[in-house]
A and B are shown apart, each in its own frame.
Chain A
Amino acid sequence: MKEKIKKFIDYEFRNIPDSKEVQSAKLEAFQNLSDTYEAYIEQGMESNEAYIQAINNLGDFTQSFKETEIKTHHENPQWQQTLFVIGLVSSIFSVPIILLSTIIGSLILLNGMTTFFVSAYFYIKKAKYILEHEKDVDGHNQMLKNAYGFYHKNRLPWLFSSSYLLASAITSLSSSLLITIVFHDPLQITDFDIILFTLFTTIFLFVVIFIVMLIVLSFINHKIKKAYIQMTGDHVSH
């Protein structure tokens, strides 16, 4: 349990730059809370209850080191793991299906994205609940790691499907314009020309949009990773 106390203190200090002073404050808090914990145990308190009561004496060190406080929520949902899996399967399936049918593929992609974001929202809330009520840093970090892991797996299907979707939407619009031109026909454009135009435009736009989306998603990914590190104090290995 002492290790759990140490972990909680480390977590509370995670956004404070390390220094000799911070190390000293952490050690002092750890020793005092360990004594408090022992005293509660001697009084006959159950181990987990003694841990929570001891941790409640920690208080907020962020003022001392001028850091932002953590906002917490009070919910404890249970059903998100299944949704994460459904979301991931939808996202992966959207890739081949979107090549066969844009409408069905995009609906599956939308389902994958929505499912992921709904479950991620509740996962984050659950993580905050665990931290606030159970003072369990491992449990909190495990929740966030799980959500982040699913996000990481979803990224490539999302990138591919959404790029293709945008490319084919723009190509479809361009083809319609081309057909309109054909009817007025000063240049005598053939069906074969339209097919070639559609094919090359789709490939070209797909590549361009893919690169743009890659840049946009890298930016979003950087933000999400930063938020994840800030919330967990952990460094991602991805």
Chain B
Amino acid sequence: MIVEMLRGYSDAIILKLLDQSDSYGYLLNQEIAKQTRDQLKFTEATLYTTFKRLEQNQYIRSYYREGINNVMRKYYTITDLGRAFLSEQIKNYEIVQDILSIFLKEKDIK
């Protein structure tokens, strides 16, 4: 359920991590799992769809580089357009959080 709710934020989560360093699917997922204590992990299909969408919108670019085990991997890097979009997404998230907190505070439940 939580994973489903967070799926809408997959673009922002991936962009945020790529803003810290270039990476590829497996490493990104490992980082997400580590930071969320395994509460969130994207499937390969979700990752692929997210990368595809972000690349089409020119928020990220891909290139090939050696990854772990000396295997060539498809790395992703964030673009300036991606950073601008991420910044906008963070602002939107704060607004959404404020709105939701008005209606969904647990203490208000009778």
List residues of chain A with CB within 8 A of the CB of B47: 32
A34 vs chain B, min Cβ distance (A): 9
List residues of chain A with CB within 8 A of the CB of B43: 57-60
Q: Kindly identify which residue among A32, A33, A38, A64 contacts B52, using a CB–CB cutoff of 8 Å.
A: A64
> Which chain B residue lies CB-closest to A30?
B44
Cβ B52 vs Cβ A29 within 8 A: no
- Chain B 30-43 interface 0/1 with A at a Cβ cutoff of 8 Å (1 = within): 10000000000111
User: Is chain B's interface secondary structure helix, strand, loop, or mixed overall?
Assistant: helix
Cβ A31 vs Cβ B49 within 8 A: no
B96 vs chain A, min Cβ distance (A): 24
Cβ B26 vs Cβ A59 within 8 A: no
List residues of chain A with CB within 8 A of the CB of B58: none
B65 vs chain A, min Cβ distance (A): 13
B41 vs chain A, min Cβ distance (A): 7
Give Cα A28–Cα B52 distance, bound, in whole angstroms.
12
> Which chain A residue lies CB-closest to B48?
A25
Cβ B25 vs Cβ A32 within 8 A: yes
- Chain A 86-103 interface 0/1 with B at a Cβ cutoff of 8 Å (1 = within): 000000000000000000
Interface extent on B, as a size class?
20 to 34
B57 vs chain A, min Cβ distance (A): 16
List residues of chain B with CB within 8 A of the CB of A64: 45, 48-49, 52
- Of the A-B pairs whose beta carbons lie under 8 Å apart in the complex, a sample of 29, sorted by A's number, is A28-B44, A31-B25, A31-B26, A31-B73, A32-B24, A32-B26, A32-B44, A32-B47, A35-B26, A35-B69, A38-B69, A39-B30, A57-B41, A57-B43, A57-B44, A58-B43, A58-B44, A58-B45, A59-B42, A59-B43, A59-B44, A59-B46, A60-B43, A60-B45, A61-B44, A63-B45, A63-B49, A64-B48, A64-B49
Chain B positions within 8 Å of A, measured between CB atoms, are 24-26, 29-30, 41-49, 52, 67-69, 71, 73-74
